[in-house]
A and B are shown apart, each in its own frame.
Chain A
Amino acid sequence: MTYIAKPKFHHPGLKKNELGYTHRDYEGKISTLCAGCGHDSITASIIEACYELSIEPHRVAKISGIGCSSKTPDYFLGNSHGFNSVHGRMPSVLTGANLANRDLIYLGVSGDGDSASIGFGQFAHSIRRGVNMTYIVENNGVYGLTKGQFSATADRGSKSKKGVTNTDNAIDLVAIALQLGATFVARSFSGDKAQLVPLIAAAIRHKGASFIDVISPCIAFNNHAGSTKSFDYVREHNDAVNRLDVLVSRDPIAVDYAPGTVQVVEQHDGSKVALRKIDADYDPHDRLGAQTFLARHAAKGQIVTGLLYVDPDAEDLHEHLNTVETPLNTLEADTLCPGSAVLDKINASLR
């Protein structure tokens, strides 16, 4: 339960990042999710990525909808403001928050029920607007909080815990995000922290709409034989196109990967993403290629993971709207109100 206090003391020798914060400074309350839940691994990866990036914990706004995944923002970045909003409506709340203060980092956490069903529209529109955010879907193909109904990302033919076969087609959020113009698109697996941490870090550094679909098995309701979102199934069918490092003018994030060819992508803010390519032909700058690649592998029953597409020169909603650099929430009457002299002129023009 979230009211269980987590002890604050920690080992004095705990490693500190550039700002002098330890891992513990990026933690939140104790998770109330089921033991072994994939979501908790994603929480750990978010903590790790923020620590590695030396982000000031209070400069992040973490926003979610409703569901198991949407509860997780309480379990990381305890010094950040969090907003557990309305089911399926995280994207609009995040968009508004982002418009109010462009200086914070926006982390949107959602689930497959939240984003592929009730909030499918808001997911789509926040992506196509290019809101500067990191949008993470913790995707387990099932409604956990209401005990095991299929979600819209459940594959056709997959079986529920109660033995029901899903007859509806699945929505692939990654494919949709690519089609709608997301400028950073990745997929990962909650059980693959080595791949996930740098992806989250790179997504945070990316300016524009970053989308990460993280397959995250539901230990309670979707981890059985016949499920295509179980630990075993995802491990067997995972086809990683690349592994990456994020370089932020300091040591690259240490990751556990097999060496391969390296491609460096420079992001808008100067940070670099070093891609260790597993699939030598894969080009993460080719949106159309990524879409085809994804479709081809999906047909073979393979789950493609890694950084699938990135546009390093992306623009965000603030650029589209040409808003001032100063956060709108700091502007006061002296700059916002045209004053009585202007009003007199307006009155005169209305006679």
Chain B
Amino acid sequence: MPDKKPISSVNDFVVRFANVNGSGSASANEMFARAILRHGVPVSPRNIFPSNIQGLPTWYEVRVTEAGHLGARGGVDMMVAMNPQTWDKDVAGIEPGGYLFYDSTKPMPSTKFRDDITVIGVPLTAITNSTYTDPRQRQLFKNIIYLGALSALLDMDPKLIEQLIGEQYKGKEKLLSSNVHALHLGRDWALQNLKCPIGLRVKKSDKVGDRIFIEGNSAAALGAVYGGATVCAWYPITPSSSVAEAFTAHCKKYRHDPETGKAKYAIVQGEDELASIGIVIGASWNGARAFTATSGPGISLMTEFIGLSYFAEIPAVIMNIQRAGPSTGMPTRTQQCDIIACAYASHGDTKHVLLFPEDPAEAFEFAAAAFDLADRLQTTIFLMLDLDIGMNHRLCRPLKWDDARQYDRGKIMTAEMLEEGRDFGRYLDVDGDGIPYRTYPGTHPTKGSYFTRGTSRDRYARYSEEGTVYADNMQRLVRKFETAQDLVPRPLQANAERPTKYGVIYFGSTSPAMDEAIGLLEARGHQLDRLRIRAFPFHSSVASFLAEHDFVYVVEQNRDSQLRQLIVNENGIDPVRLVPIVHYDGTPITARFIAKTIGDHQDHLKVTPLRKAVS
């Protein structure tokens, strides 16, 4: 017996699987997460993987959370240690009173364990080897066997796992039955040889509701399909590649003409990020909805074109699935570190629209909206995801679409309008919103053509190096950016129960951890109003929020507090009133971290009156 009381918890614990990448464990681990969902209990899984294909350590963490806290929690209650390479670190990472599950086929010296945890050995290799002869089968079924053993230990309903296996191998009878067999091999061994269940248990509940379980990248790609993207050009880069791959898969299903079989889309894998954004710019210039998906290094390469998009006013949608930078940085770790790089991308005076979805549901909505915004504003729209949202399955509300919705193509001057004698100046602000009309190439035999260029020109697109003409155009671009403020998703505010002079601003994937942290902070007696920023340029309500609070914490996942910099810069705010709360080690931010950091700050801010202290 461990010298610390074993953790006892129903529907609220963290299981971490330590595997070797390339061992086929991912699908078994994902099935574990899905099986818990089928019990009606929310889960939040995360892949922690190296920039490598085979042989290096990888982890899969499942937070089981009846309360629905979908951020990373921190700490591990049960470690499924399947990787000898990382054994010591994995064992050390278990919470006191936690559980260690391991393959006990080969005896381990007692020094390899800890006294304050419960050690559960299952001879996985022995069971596997006595049942299977094929090495690949041994490898794959070993994963299902540990899944079976865990189902017994955690008191899970095996029928629900069988159901999942049935769905996965529908029509492949042989695979289906052999997987179910492997599941029961593990489960039966555990039931016969171990004390089941342990202190951690899964109990059926009804907290999942109609929510769906989807990766942000897939949802964003689906948003592009629904938003009418017809051209996608991309260059492979982690963690964004699965956006283009998902877009390809979705298009194959939903975008082929039923009669001719022909594709209502074009996807090109570019030779690099320069070509990818070039293709997007060319297609958008010609009136198609086009996008690329990339990550930090790709953004760096694309900046010259982004400047062209801003200055020549060509729509483009760039999905930036952020990872830890700078340079190659940590390609498989998450951060929100490209805020400044994207907001002001390119040389000269530029500003760009950024959208910050918090989860896959918003990734879908904002992706579709990005195409309307790009056409309306005739400029680049960044969809700022990150690895945490993009590459992990996240429980979120179902995706919704209004069938009455039409695409907003923005201000397009048609052949009819030109025939009517409408004055066409490509850079002429006729409505006072800074947005000019454009024509698609090939519109009219004698009217409406113009020359697009990155050089300065007048309101009628005629080349000009006159200072006043240049400044007139640059001022109009500022007006256009002001117009954007009211078109982009607005910030969402949630106030504390009692009036408070403290606020917190956050965005994107920090959302679930922040929501949970609020509860923890309240328990410590700290009241905070919250503002979730969903886009740049900032809506006027951001300035109001800042004005209403003495101190505002800005929580973000980068070193330099980039959103805070942007707020200070764009709103002319005294930086002292904005307290940076930064988390940037490449792991997703946790509620524990936020609550502790803000809580400690709050404690410092609470100055005890002198008289009271003396008396």
Q: Interface 1/0s, chain A 330-349, versus B by CB < 8 A?
A: 11110111111011101100
Is A299 in contact with chain B by the CB < 8 A criterion?
A: no
Complex CA distance for A63 and B452, rounded to whole angstroms: 9
Which residue of chain A is the closest to B450 with respect to CB atoms? Answer: A81
Contact of A97 with B439 at beta-carbon distance under 8 Å, contacts A58-B449, A125-B271 already known: no
Q: Which residues of A contact B463 (CB under 8 A)?
A: 1-3, 74
Give the Cβ gap from A56 to chain B, nearest Cβ, in Å: 6
The answer to whether B304 touches A340, judged by C-beta atoms less than 8 angstroms apart, is no
Q: Interface 1/0s, chain A 95-129, versus B by CB < 8 A?
A: 11111110110000000000000000110110001
Supply 9 A–B pairs (Cβ within 8 Å), ascending by A. A73-B451, A92-B275, A92-B282, A96-B278, A96-B279, A97-B441, A100-B286, A104-B442, A328-B288
Q: Which of A299-351 contact B (CB under 8 A)?
A: 317-318, 321-325, 328-333, 335-340, 342-344, 346-347, 350-351
The answer to whether A121 touches B272, judged by C-beta atoms less than 8 angstroms apart, is yes
Q: Which residues of A contact B225 (CB under 8 A)?
A: 336-338
Interface residue stretch chosen among A38-46, A83-91, A140-148: A83-91
Give the Cβ gap from A238 to chain B, nearest Cβ, in Å: 34
Is A78 in contact with chain B by the CB < 8 A criterion?
A: yes
Partner among A101, A125, A321, A325 whose Cβ is within 8 Å of the Cβ of B286: A101
Q: Which 4 A-B pairs have the closest CB atoms?
A: A96-B282, A92-B278, A100-B288, A81-B441
Is A79 in contact with chain B by the CB < 8 A criterion?
A: yes
Is B283 in contact with chain A by the CB < 8 A criterion?
A: yes
Q: Which residues of A contact B402 (CB under 8 A)?
A: 340
The answer to whether B278 touches A329, judged by C-beta atoms less than 8 angstroms apart, is no
Q: Which residues of A contact B441 (CB under 8 A)?
A: 58, 61, 80-81, 97, 101, 104
Q: Interface 1/0s, chain B 390-434, versus A by CB < 8 A?
A: 000000001111110111000000000000000000000000000
The answer to whether B304 touches A332, judged by C-beta atoms less than 8 angstroms apart, is no
Is B444 in contact with chain A by the CB < 8 A criterion?
A: yes
Q: Which of B493-526 contact A (CB under 8 A)?
A: none
The answer to whether B440 touches A85, judged by C-beta atoms less than 8 angstroms apart, is no
Complex CA distance for A294 and B260, rounded to whole angstroms: 43
Complex CA distance for A350 and B275, rounded to whole angstroms: 34
The answer to whether A61 touches B274, judged by C-beta atoms less than 8 angstroms apart, is no
Give the Cβ gap from A336 to chain B, nearest Cβ, in Å: 4
Contact of A340 with B260 at beta-carbon distance under 8 Å, contacts A3-B463, A58-B446, A347-B212 already known: no
The answer to whether A340 touches B286, judged by C-beta atoms less than 8 angstroms apart, is no
Is B547 in contact with chain A by the CB < 8 A criterion?
A: no
Q: Which residues of B contact A96 (CB under 8 A)?
A: 231, 233, 278-286, 288, 290
The answer to whether B282 touches A94, judged by C-beta atoms less than 8 angstroms apart, is yes
Is A198 in contact with chain B by the CB < 8 A criterion?
A: no
Partner among B228, B276, B305 whose Cβ is within 8 Å of the Cβ of A86: B305
Interface residue stretch chosen among B122-130, B261-269, B580-588: B261-269
Complex CA distance for A124 and B278, rounded to whole angstroms: 15
**Which of B233, B275, B450 has the most A CB atoms < 10 Å from its CB?**
B275
Is B181 in contact with chain A by the CB < 8 A criterion?
A: no
Give the Cβ gap from A28 to chain B, nearest Cβ, in Å: 9
Is A59 in contact with chain B by the CB < 8 A criterion?
A: yes
Which residue of chain B is the closest to A90 with respect to CB atoms? Answer: B278
The answer to whether A99 touches B288, judged by C-beta atoms less than 8 angstroms apart, is yes
Q: Which residues of B contact A324 (CB under 8 A)?
A: 257, 260, 262-264
The answer to whether B452 touches A86, judged by C-beta atoms less than 8 angstroms apart, is no
Contact of A100 with B283 at beta-carbon distance under 8 Å, contacts A93-B278, A324-B263 already known: yes
Complex CA distance for A122 and B268, rounded to whole angstroms: 13
Contact of A329 with B287 at beta-carbon distance under 8 Å, contacts A3-B464, A100-B231, A347-B399 already known: yes
Contact of A339 with B403 at beta-carbon distance under 8 Å, contacts A58-B445, A86-B305, A129-B268 already known: yes
A contact set with B: CB distance below 8 Å = 1-3, 56-59, 61, 63, 73-74, 78-86, 89, 91-101, 103-104, 121-122, 124-125, 129, 317-318, 321-325, 328-333, 335-340, 342-344, 346-347, 350-351
Contact of A343 with B401 at beta-carbon distance under 8 Å, contacts A58-B444, A100-B287, A101-B442 already known: yes
Is B20 in contact with chain A by the CB < 8 A criterion?
A: no
Q: Which residues of B contact A340 (CB under 8 A)?
A: 400-403
The answer to whether B264 touches A99, judged by C-beta atoms less than 8 angstroms apart, is no
Which residue of chain A is the closest to B208 with respect to CB atoms? Answer: A351
Complex CA distance for A342 and B251, rounded to whole angstroms: 13
The answer to whether B264 touches A336, judged by C-beta atoms less than 8 angstroms apart, is yes
Complex CA distance for A323 and B470, rounded to whole angstroms: 41
Q: Which residues of B contact A82 (CB under 8 A)?
A: 449-452
The answer to whether B443 touches A58, judged by C-beta atoms less than 8 angstroms apart, is yes
Q: Which of B431-482 contact A (CB under 8 A)?
A: 439-446, 449-455, 462-464
Contact of A92 with B257 at beta-carbon distance under 8 Å, contacts A3-B464, A80-B441, A101-B287 already known: no
The answer to whether A79 touches B442, judged by C-beta atoms less than 8 angstroms apart, is no
Is B552 in contact with chain A by the CB < 8 A criterion?
A: no
Interface of B is mostly: loop
Q: Which residues of B contact A74 (CB under 8 A)?
A: 451, 463
The answer to whether A336 touches B454, judged by C-beta atoms less than 8 angstroms apart, is no
Complex CA distance for A122 and B235, rounded to whole angstroms: 14
The answer to whether B305 touches A89, judged by C-beta atoms less than 8 angstroms apart, is yes
Give the Cβ gap from A111 to chain B, nearest Cβ, in Å: 16
Q: Which residues of B contact A346 (CB under 8 A)?
A: 222, 399
The answer to whether B214 touches A350, judged by C-beta atoms less than 8 angstroms apart, is yes
The answer to whether B442 touches A103, judged by C-beta atoms less than 8 angstroms apart, is yes
Is B132 in contact with chain A by the CB < 8 A criterion?
A: no
Give the Cβ gap from B291 to chain A, nearest Cβ, in Å: 11
Give the Cβ gap from B233 to chain A, nearest Cβ, in Å: 7
The answer to whether B261 touches A79, judged by C-beta atoms less than 8 angstroms apart, is no
Q: Which residues of B contact A57 (CB under 8 A)?
A: 445
Is B230 in contact with chain A by the CB < 8 A criterion?
A: yes
Is B169 in contact with chain A by the CB < 8 A criterion?
A: no
Partner among A73, A79, A83, A125 whose Cβ is within 8 Å of the Cβ of B285: A83
Complex CA distance for A318 and B263, rounded to whole angstroms: 10
**Which of A94, A98, A333 has the most B CB atoms < 10 Å from its CB?**
A333
Complex CA distance for A96 and B305, rounded to whole angstroms: 13
Which residue of chain B is the closest to A56 with respect to CB atoms? Answer: B445
Q: Which residues of B contact A3 (CB under 8 A)?
A: 462-464
Which residue of chain B is the closest to A128 with respect to CB atoms? Answer: B271
The answer to whether A84 touches B283, judged by C-beta atoms less than 8 angstroms apart, is no
Which residue of chain A is the closest to B254 with respect to CB atoms? Answer: A338
Which residue of chain A is the closest to B257 with respect to CB atoms? Answer: A324
Is B234 in contact with chain A by the CB < 8 A criterion?
A: no
Q: Which of B325-370 contact A (CB under 8 A)?
A: none
Q: Which residues of A contact B257 (CB under 8 A)?
A: 324
Q: Which residues of A contact B442 (CB under 8 A)?
A: 58-59, 61, 81, 101, 103-104
The answer to whether B286 touches A61, judged by C-beta atoms less than 8 angstroms apart, is yes
Is B226 in contact with chain A by the CB < 8 A criterion?
A: yes
Give the Cβ gap from B255 to chain A, nearest Cβ, in Å: 7
Complex CA distance for A124 and B275, rounded to whole angstroms: 11
Is B32 in contact with chain A by the CB < 8 A criterion?
A: no
**Which of A59, A86, A322, A325 has the most B CB atoms < 10 Å from its CB?**
A86
Is B308 in contact with chain A by the CB < 8 A criterion?
A: yes
Contact of A339 with B401 at beta-carbon distance under 8 Å, contacts A92-B278, A96-B281, A332-B407 already known: yes
Contact of A95 with B288 at beta-carbon distance under 8 Å, contacts A332-B228, A346-B399 already known: no
Complex CA distance for A335 and B451, rounded to whole angstroms: 31
The answer to whether B400 touches A122, judged by C-beta atoms less than 8 angstroms apart, is no
Contact of A81 with B452 at beta-carbon distance under 8 Å, contacts A122-B271, A321-B266, A331-B230 already known: yes
Q: Which residues of A contact B233 (CB under 8 A)?
A: 92, 96
Partner among A85, A99, A339 whose Cβ is within 8 Å of the Cβ of B268: A99
Q: Which residues of B contact A322 (CB under 8 A)?
A: 261-263
Complex CA distance for A58 and B463, rounded to whole angstroms: 20
Which residue of chain A is the closest to B398 with respect to CB atoms? Answer: A347
Which residue of chain B is the closest to A126 with respect to CB atoms? Answer: B275
